[in-house]
Structure 1
Amino acid sequence: MKHLKALDHYFWKYRYRLFLGIVFIVISNYFAVLAPQVTGYVFDVVQRAFGIVPKKATVEYDWLVNWFIGFAEQHRSISVIALCGITILVLALIRGVFMFLMRQTIIVMSRHIEYDQKNQIFQHYLTLDTNFYKTHSTGDLMNRMAEDVSRVRMFTGPAIMYLINLISLILMSVYYMVKKDPLLTLYVLAPLPILAVTIYVVNTIINKRSERIQALLSDLTTNAQESYSGIRVIKSFVQEKAMFQFFEKNSDEYRDNAIGLAKMEALYFPSMTLLIGLSTLLTIMIGGIYAIYDPTGTKIGTIAEFVMYINMLTFPVGAIGWTASMIQRAAASQKRINEFLQTDPVIVNPPNAIKPTVQGNISFNNVDFVYPNTGIQALTQFNLHIKKGQKIAIIGHTGSGKTTIAQLLLRMYDPTVGSISIDGTDLRQMDLQELRRQISYVPQDVFLFSDTIKNNILFSPAAGASINGETAVMAARYASVEKEIEHFHDRYDTMVGERGVTLSGGQKQRISIARALAKDPQLVVFDDCLSAVDARTEKEILGNLSVYLQHKTAIIITHRIFTLFDFDTIVVLDEGKIVETGTHNELLSLNGYYAYLYEQQLQQEREEG
């Protein structure tokens, strides 16, 4: 239950709805407990009419029922019975109205809380750093925001409503039962302690199993999500059967645990029925004995009244198990949600963050970096100084640390040792959003949203820039993808499908480049962004970029050597260290690692040609 305290601020936010809902529940139940009293009075009227009870007995009813009785006594017995029937119907209608208002306040409040909580979780997800997403699966993230929040909603809505309902109805019913006949009430309610013990034992088991089931559901969701995303790989390697068996295994484990939980919960309802049945039997038996041996004491009307109270308590008492189960499940789900909400991002804005205008002067000063989730040393004693307007190439084999440089520059990570500064300001002192807003980044892993080509290109316009089609066209032209877009049926309004699945690899890369160019920053970082294009298109793009980047600072990360682009400096990396720097001709004259890479590339091109 302690995990559900995280919801207190939501209840405070919607306190008026909650308060009104409680009031409507109490009023609804108040009119509900009046019906048995009116029914008991009818039985007493019939007894008096047949002479079973010789005189009018003192009644112990609610003040409103007493007022009604005073009015009804002025009529004949037949008219009284008809009047009582109409009154019971009116009481039911009034109760129904307040039940409607009760749901309109409590259940609607739970929907508002669900909305707020999903927004809170999603907003928090957006603040978490890159390392968090490397260590948590997408399926688990989705499950916590969807399934777990839905279970919490069952607590903030139905569980609270039923809990208040059963407390108020039980208290009112027991109050009037004790007021009418304390000893009979004691006999009737005797089975309830057994019910309380049963609820406690079963709910302890349910709580543990609910946590296990939620974890299994996250695994199942992750398995399905990965299969959908990688369906082309699965089909190309003919692994449909293997993937289905893997999914089936996870599904079987989830099913077995869910069925086990359902069986455990199934103990509630037979237990409720048995105990309610015992209470009804005790009411009729003991009340009947009293009526036989003392006709002027316990009356038939009292027995009928108690039977109605017991049957009225059937749903709330039965709902104790259901409500407790919902609360336990919600607590387990809220615990999982809290784990993420209480996860603080490692990369955060500093106090009094600086918001400078980026010019493009970059300095890496004795930077070491170790990936926190793997312990891999990506960079060692990395020093690089780039002046405004320079074009820098960073070359090296896979795993040499090239992409790490881009991630550090965008402050996806902070250096383990050393510092990085732009225009003399340490990145850790700069406003995160302002920093990233002024840098265009083309990632190695291209990602397109399931949206139109235009919206993908204009995903991140420059600050203050207007979003329009001309910007998208210009960016597509520089990225050498304009002609292909023009041949699409809907041109720039063409939907690209999930992750750009309807486009070729080269088209996706070039649209990703266009997205970066549309931003029009002073600093551009390209991370191996031409790996999926042919030689002719590569030459065309490099020609366009040389024009576009004329007065901008650019870092082009690649495993290929571009001889057609005039770089100010080429940095050669190997195992996280700079092994060579210089221009293309200077590095060739050294006849070192760069020359070796260049010779390998030429040989590969000759073999492919």
Structure 2
Amino acid sequence: MARNLSTNTGSQAVGGRRHTVGRLVHYLLASPWRVIVMVLAGMTAVAMIVIGPKVMGEATNVLFEGLLGSMLVKMGAKPGTSKQAVVTYLQSRGQDKFARMIDSMNVQVGVGIDWGRFGTILMFVIGIYLISILVRLVQNFLMTRLVSDAVYTMRRQIEDKLDRLPLQYFDRTPRGEVMSRTTNDIDNISGTLQQILGELLFSVFSIIGAFIMMLTISPLLTLIAFIIIPVMALCAGVILKKTQPQFTRQWIRTGQVNSHVEEMFSGHMVVRAFGHQGKAEEEFEERNQELYQASFKASFFSALVTPMSTFFGNLSFVIVVIIGGVHVLNGSMSLGGLQAFTQYTRQASQPIGQLASMGTMLQSSLASCRRVFDFLDEAEEVPDIEHPDHLGQETGGKVEGHVRFDHVRFSYDPAEPLIKDLSIEAKPGQTIAIVGPTGAGKTTLVNLLMRFYEIQGGRITIDGVDTSRVTRHDLRSHFGMVLQDTWLFDGTVRDNLLYGLDEGQTIPEQTMIDGAKATHVDEFIRKLPQGYDTVLNEDSSELSQGERQLMTICRAFLSDPDILILDEATSSVDTRTELLVQQAMNTLRKGRTSFVIAHRLSTIRDADLILVVNHGSVVEQGTHDQLLERGGAYASLYNSQFTKGEED
């Protein structure tokens, strides 16, 4: 049974690798005409290069034949003596091998080196190699474009994929892992393909071209030279089989290290505050060691390819030279032919070694490709319907804000139901406060309202329109959100404040300033070096947490939403600022349906309706005074925060 399991696992790995290669080739074949021209250019370059040694062999023959012609005169032969007479003379003296060598060449007694012919051959060879260089430049240019276009397409698909992934994917996947797949793996694919793709085609064509030219010179030597290739291929296959899992493990470990570093960097203040630097360093060392082991093994096994291929290439070369030298002495091969053949041997053995080395690099690229493709294959959000309804269609795009939850059911884990049967109603212009203990499902209601998660039963309507029949963009364009976690991006203060506006929408400068004053943002912005033009980074270290929170409140204020969601919007501001922000929120909430999630119950006393949520169900609802009179769950929460004296 274990053997069958191993076989199946191996088959799945091979099938997965073939599937990955197929998808990668599909990206590279996005522009067929470029591929065709690149292949033709590669073939032309190889043809020029493989012709070169054969022509150079002719030049060697010209030199050698001229030297032999002069040497025969020194040996006593008269100039003009026919080659046949020289051969007969040598055979009569028992110099049969020398006679056969003279007979196989175009030797003329007394005629030295034909420098004119030799120069013509050299110029022809130079022209051939210049053409091959130009054609290879064309091939490399097209190859670079193919790889760049393929990687560009991958990056664009990743960006589109990020917009289509459900929120639950980001809840379960570390941010560093996502970053590793979308940056490190893509860079690895790009760098590897740029490095090996052109050489891969050139090496294959070189082996084929060299093999054909070697056959034209000596089929026997060709067989001897290539008999080592299966042995080399077998050794390379064993190495590649060992290397593939290590490259896969290497990039997985890279993602884990990135996740840990990102987490520790984001929470470095907490780590230091609680004295966990040592533990963080230990965990990093453990993950870094795992990455080191995987990287070392991958690099070690891949490094074995070069010496292995060099050994077999040199062995083949030595055997060819020895046997070829015997053939030259026997007259069955010219010296120029042997020279050309040894060059072809190098032209064949070197690309074979390169192919083996590129195979290990390709394993690394395929490991990254598989991680990227796995990301692109992640389950996406339920697509919007083809013919959606539109919010505010009958009121000129303005939403009144009548929100209903009708018998809604939802759970993050099917085995653990969270919301079983929830029905609530928010009338236009009302402020609905949602309170309850941690984990009761308060934020979940907002996630369902915004369709960050899809409900599993019932329906949610806005002004009578089922939100599942509205596109997510249309639905979310009517909402303004202020979350507990503040988020500011790299850009000016102005850019951050106006981020909530629709694309292409603008507002007057004075309107922005008035909004900033209403939310008490203007006073600290004016103290910044360039005011509203001050450039903030992602950390915004020049702003306090409370000031960052105020900027997100101002952002929602300026977006002028139809429905407002405040998720612990004042949790990061001091008591005095909270009162000021509360006044701004009261102004912002006028005429809008608002959902307020709060732990500070003092901020929701004037809410039109308070929902007490626990275990995904509304256990109490009413106004502040009504709920206090009942003395139930809300009263218990409230009294736990305020003493009788403070309330009075």
Matching residue of 1:243: 280
Matched ranges for 1:47-66 at <5 A: 47-51=64-68
1:42 aligns with 2:59: yes
Q: Which residues of 2 match residues 72-83 of structure 1 at below 5 A?
A: 77-83=114-120
The correspondence of residues 572-583 of structure 1 with structure 2, limited to 5 A, is: 572-583=612-623
- Amino acid of the residue matched to residue 188 of structure 2? R
The residue aligned with 2:170 is: 133
Q: Which residue of 2 is the match for residue 440 of structure 1?
A: 480
| Residues 1:541 and 2:541 are matched in the alignment | no
Structure 2 residues not aligned, in runs of 5+:
1-17, 73-81, 85-105, 393-398
Would you say 1:281 and 2:318 are equivalent positions?
yes
| 1:566 CA drift (Å) | 2.8
Report the alpha carbon displacement of residue 29 of structure 1 after superposing the two structures with TM. Answer: 1.1
Contact 2:494 2:533 in 1 (8 A): yes
Root-mean-square deviation (Å): 2.5
> Could you say which residue in structure 2 is the equivalent of 1:353?
388
When normalised by structure 1's length, the TM-score is: 0.91
Q: Is the 8 A contact 2:433 2:604 kept in 1?
A: no
Report the CA distance between 1:164 and its aligned residue: 1.4
Matched, 1:594 2:634: yes
Counterpart of 2:203 (choices 144, 166, 189) is 166
**Alignment partner of 2:592 out of 536, 552, 568:** 552
Label 1:338 to 1:75 Cα distance change in 2 as closer, same or farther (>3 A). Answer: farther
The separation in 2 between residues aligned to 1:222 and 1:449, in whole angstroms, is 21
Q: Is residue 227 from structure 1 mapped to residue 264 from structure 2 by the alignment?
A: yes
Equivalent of 1:526 in 566, 576, 598: 566
Would the alpha carbon gap of residues 245 and 233 (structure 1) be closer, same or farther in structure 2, given more than 3 Å must change? same
Conserved? CA contact 1:462–1:521, under 8 Å: no
Deviations 1:56-75 (CA, angstroms, capped at 9, x unpaired): 9xxxxxxxxxxxx9xxxx99
- For the residue of structure 1 that corresponds to 2:361, the secondary structure is helix
- 1:346 is displaced (CA, Å) by 3.5
Does the alignment pair 1:101 with 2:142? Answer: no
Shift of 1:464: 5.9
Does 2:22 align with 1:5? Answer: yes
| 3-state SS, counterpart of residue 445 of structure 1 | coil
Letter in 2 for 1:260: K
* Residue in structure 2 matched with residue 424 of structure 1 by the alignment: 464
- Which residue does 2:75 correspond to in 1? none
Answering whether residue 545 of structure 2 is matched by residue 505 of structure 1, we say yes
Deviation at 1:337, TM superposition (A): 1.5
Greater CA drift, 333-342 or 129-138:
333-342
Instruction: Please report how far the alpha carbon of residue 92 of structure 1 lies from its aligned counterpart in structure 2 after TM superposition.
Output: 2.4
CA contact (8 A) 1:447 1:500 kept: no
Q: Structure 1 residues 55 and 379 mapped into 2: Cα distance closer, same or farther (>3 Å)?
A: farther
- How far apart in 1 are the matches of 2:437 and 2:144? 59
1:323 to 1:396, Cα distance in 2 relative to 1, 3 A: same
Equivalent residue for 1:190, pick from 227, 248, 256: 227
Q: Does 1:25 align with 2:42?
A: yes
Deviation, structure 1 residue 129: 0.8
Per-residue CA deviations over 1:407-426 (Å, capped at 9, x if unaligned) read 11101112233221111111
| Distance (whole Å) between structure 1 residues aligned to residue 337 and residue 83 of structure 2 | 16
Q: Deviations over 1:190-234 (max 9, x none)?
A: 211111111221112211221111111111111111121111112
Gaps of 5+ in 1: 57-68
* CA distance in 2: counterparts of 1:162 and 1:472, whole angstroms: 58
Deviation >4 Å, runs of 4+: 52-56, 604-607
Moved more, 31-40 or 44-53: 44-53
Residue among 324, 343, 347 paired with 1:312: 347
Q: Report the equivalent of 1:340.
A: 375
Cα 1:4–1:372, aligned 2, differ >3 Å: closer, same or farther? farther
Deviation, structure 1 residue 501: 3.9
Paired residues of 2:391 and 2:462 also in contact (CA < 8 A):
no
Give the counterpart of 1:258 among 279, 292, 295.
295
Distance in structure 2 (CA, Å) of the matches to 1:108 and 1:114: 10
Please give the TM-score of this superposition, normalised by the length of structure 2. Answer: 0.86
Q: Could you say which residue in structure 2 is the equivalent of 1:60?
A: none
> Residue 301 of structure 1 corresponds to which residue in structure 2?
336
1:366 aligned to 381, 393, 407, which one?
407
Q: Which residue of 2 aligns with 1:63?
A: none
Shift of 1:563: 6.0
Mapped partners of 2:480, 2:301: distance in 1: 56
Match of 1:59 in 2: none
Shift of the 564–222 alpha-carbon distance from structure 1 to 2, 3 Å rule, reads closer
Cα offset for 1:115? 1.6
Q: Deviations over 1:358-401 (max 9, x none)?
A: 3211001122322239x654434221111111111112222222
Relative distance call for 1:421 and 1:464 in structure 2 (3 A) is farther
What is the alpha-carbon distance in structure 2 between the residues aligned to residue 558 and residue 542 of structure 1? 12
Deviation at 1:9, TM superposition (A): 4.1
Inter-partner Cα distance in structure 2 for 1:468 and 1:252: 56
Distance verdict in 2 for CA 1:272–1:469, change over 3 Å: farther
C-alpha distance in 2 between matches for 1:340 and 1:311: 43
Q: Tell me, what secondary structure is at the counterpart of 1:419?
A: strand
Counterpart contact for 1:401–1:575, Cα < 8 Å: yes
**CA-to-partner distance for each residue in 1:540-583, whole Å, 9 max, x for gaps?**
12222222221111111101223676322122223322222222
CA contact (8 A) 1:454 1:469 kept: no
Aligned 8 A contact 1:347 1:412 in 2? no
> How far did 1:535 drift?
2.0
Q: Secondary structure at the match of 1:51?
A: helix
Distance in 2, Cα, partners of 1:457 & 1:269 = 58
Structure 1 stretch displaced more, 595-604 or 124-133: 595-604
Larger Rg: 2
Mapped partners of 1:319, 1:4: distance in 2: 19
Alignment of 1:472-511 (within 5 A): 472-511=512-551
Distance in structure 2 (CA, Å) of the matches to 1:290 and 1:398: 90
- Which of 624, 632, 639 is 1:584 aligned to? 624
- How many aligned residue pairs are there? 589
Secondary structure of 1:133's partner? helix
For residues 447 and 387 of structure 2, the distance between their equivalents in structure 1, rounded to whole angstroms, comes to 23
- Contact 2:313 2:350 (C-alpha < 8 Å) held by counterparts: no
**What's the counterpart of residue 9 of structure 2?**
none
Local SS of the residue matching 2:499: coil
- Structure 1 residues 592-601 or 270-279, which shifts more? 592-601
CA–CA distance in structure 2, aligned partners of residues 21 and 604 of structure 1: 84
CA distance in 1 between partners of 2:377 and 2:471 (Å): 23
2:56 pairs with 1:16: no
CA contact (8 A) 1:408 1:415 kept: yes
Match of 1:206 in 2: 243
Instruction: Report the 3-state secondary structure (helix = DSSP H, G, I; strand = E; otherwise coil) of the residue aligned with 2:643.
Output: helix
The range that moved more, 474-483 or 105-114, is 474-483
- CA–CA distance in structure 1, aligned partners of residues 457 and 439 of structure 2: 20
Cα offset, 1:298, TM superposition: 0.7
- Tell me the SS of whatever aligns to 1:162: helix
Q: Secondary structure at the match of 2:491?
A: coil
